Amino acid sequence: LMQDTMNKMCHKKRDALHLKNVFNQRSVSKNVSETFNYVSDFLKFVTEGYTLLFAMEMLDLPTLDTVPTMTSAEAEEALNYVSTCIVDTVWNDVTVHIPSSNLKEEDTYGFCNCKEDIEGAVMIECENVACTEGVWFHLECVGLTEETVPGEDEVWFCSAECRNSNKRSHSASHTIDRKFEYVKMLLWRGLSDMIRRNAVRQNDGPMITLYWKCDLPQFIKHNHTKYTILGHRLIAKFTGLNCFLPKRLRQDLIWNRTINLSGGRGTNIETDLV
């Protein structure tokens, strides 16, 4: 996951690459397996930095050392407010939506309102690429004839909704603040890495397992077949009705996932890293 983050973060002339140079992080390389600890620290640094910048922007603080003038109660309220705001802003939907059209039988005719395959009928295409009604329509079904059909230069939409949504998507692509989207992505991935790191430091087995669960869509999306299989097997071993491990082994899998080299609380590290 960290490698995916680095691929996205340090792509071309992105901010993270710039930050790496400005803060002289020469040991950080794009290849995570070579410099794991440096990358991990850098990611933490960048995440903390952007979180603080976000707060400075919201509370209108000119420098990082400016102390806002507020009572301790107000400060606590502001802290809650700012944190909630950051999380809500960077939040990505983690649930997977499967479009219902994928579940239909393959041989269903997917075009036109009538959903019937009329042989030899002339069809017209809706200009909205995201048209949900079928994209191609029989002239008869939309009240057109070969004489009244729009010319090649003219645009045609099957409905007012398609016309409006096409307008919206056009204007949206011009108004997207790419820099902001990039920072949001960075923060989302950074925070995501941070909570996993905390779970490992505390050897919080149930949480680590839970994170494996929410990482599955990421593994599938980025074609990490090995981790998809590993994660799936791990989760299947102790959740639901299919749990097939004896209690002792289950306990071992949940709680024996980290190693504490230096002793003390909150200093566990990943077993595979050791």
Partner 1 sequence: RKADLVMMTDILYHEKLTKEIPGR
Q: Based on CB atoms, which residue is closest to partner 1, 235 or 269?
A: 235
Work out how close the CB of 93 gets to partner 1 at its nearest, in angstroms, rounded to a whole number. 8
Q: Based on CB atoms, which residue is closest to partner 1, 80 or 169?
A: 80
Rounded Cα–Cα distance for residues 158 and 166 (Å): 12
Work out how close the CB of 57 gets to partner 1 at its nearest, in angstroms, rounded to a whole number. 13
Task: Look up residue 241 and give its amino acid.
Answer: L
The closest of 24, 61, 60, 63 to 45, measured between CA atoms, is: 24
Work out how close the CB of 191 gets to partner 1 at its nearest, in angstroms, rounded to a whole number. 4
- 271 backbone dihedrals φ, ψ, rounded to 5°: -60, -45
Q: How far is CA 218 from CA 48, 224, 225, 229, 271, in A?
A: 23, 8, 11, 13, 22
Contacts of 180 (CB under 8 A, 6+ apart): none
Work out how close the CB of 216 gets to partner 1 at its nearest, in angstroms, rounded to a whole number. 10
Q: Based on CB atoms, which residue is closest to partner 1, 20 or 196?
A: 196
Work out how close the CB of 270 gets to partner 1 at its nearest, in angstroms, rounded to a whole number. 18
Which tokens hold the place of 246? 């004896």
- 109 backbone dihedrals φ, ψ, rounded to 5°: -75, 120
Rounded Cα–Cα distance for residues 274 and 257 (Å): 11
Asked if 1 contacts 218 with a C-beta cutoff of 8 angstroms, the reply is: yes
Work out how close the CB of 212 gets to partner 1 at its nearest, in angstroms, rounded to a whole number. 11
Work out how close the CB of 47 gets to partner 1 at its nearest, in angstroms, rounded to a whole number. 8
Q: Based on CB atoms, which residue is closest to partner 1, 52 or 118?
A: 52
Q: Based on CB atoms, which residue is closest to partner 1, 82 or 144?
A: 82
Q: Based on CB atoms, which residue is closest to partner 1, 159 or 218?
A: 218
Three-state SS at 115: coil
Residues pairing with 136 in the sheet: 125
Rounded Cα–Cα distance for residues 125 and 127 (Å): 6
Q: Which residues bind partner 1 (CB under 8 A)?
A: 47-48, 51-52, 55, 64, 79-80, 82-84, 86-87, 91, 94-95, 191-192, 194-195, 198, 210, 213-214, 239-240
